[in-house]
């Protein structure tokens, strides 16, 4: 899910950004009130979709960061493990 989802999400965000730019251009060029209203409704829907996609991208980035932090913490625990020896018993023997 991680990096690929973020890349796909960013590509979708760029598409919406281009569509918004085109919609705003059309809004400025609209000649009637009805055309202006229709374009503004489209812009409003695109802006809503853009905000939703940004939230999704941030959520995915947060998931990636949490996984990364977990991996770093696990690595640090492994590095900080200490080994020690404890004598449990001693064997004495001799050859006769």
Any domain includes 77 = no
Question: Where are the alpha helices (H) located in 1-96, listed in sequence order?
Answer: 2-29, 33-79
| Per-residue model confidence as pLDDT tens digits over 28-84 | 999 999 999 999 999 999 999 999 999 998 999 999 999 999 999 999 998 888 777
Could you tell me if residue 85 is inside a domain?
Answer: no
Whether 26 maps to a domain, the answer reads yes
More confident residue, 10 or 14: 14
Tokens 């932090």 map to which residue? Answer: 69
In a domain, 84, yes or no: no
Does residue 25 sit within a domain? yes
Per the CB < 8 A criterion, the answer to whether 78 and 41 are in contact is no
Residue 69 within a domain: no
In a domain, 82, yes or no: no
Look at residue 1 and tell me whether its pLDDT is greater than 60. Answer: no
At 50 the pLDDT is 93
Residue 86's pLDDT band, with cuts at 50, 70 and 90, is confident
What is the residue range of 45's domain?
Answer: 2-62
- Predicted model pTM: 0.61
- Residue 46 placed within a domain: yes
> Closest by alpha carbon to 26, among 35, 34, 18?
35
């Amino acid at each position: 899910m991680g990096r690929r989802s973020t890349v796909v999400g960013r590509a979708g965000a760029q598409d919406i950004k281009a569509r918004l730019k085109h919609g705003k251009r059309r809004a400025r060029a609209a000649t009637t009130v009805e055309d202006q209203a229709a374009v503004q409704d489209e812009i409003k829907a695109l802006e809503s979709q853009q905000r939703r996609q940004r939230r999704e991208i941030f959520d995915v980035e947060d998931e990636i960061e949490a996984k990364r932090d977990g991996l770093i913490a696990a690595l640090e625990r492994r590095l900080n493990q200490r080994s020690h020896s404890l004598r449990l018993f001693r064997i004495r023997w001799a050859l006769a």
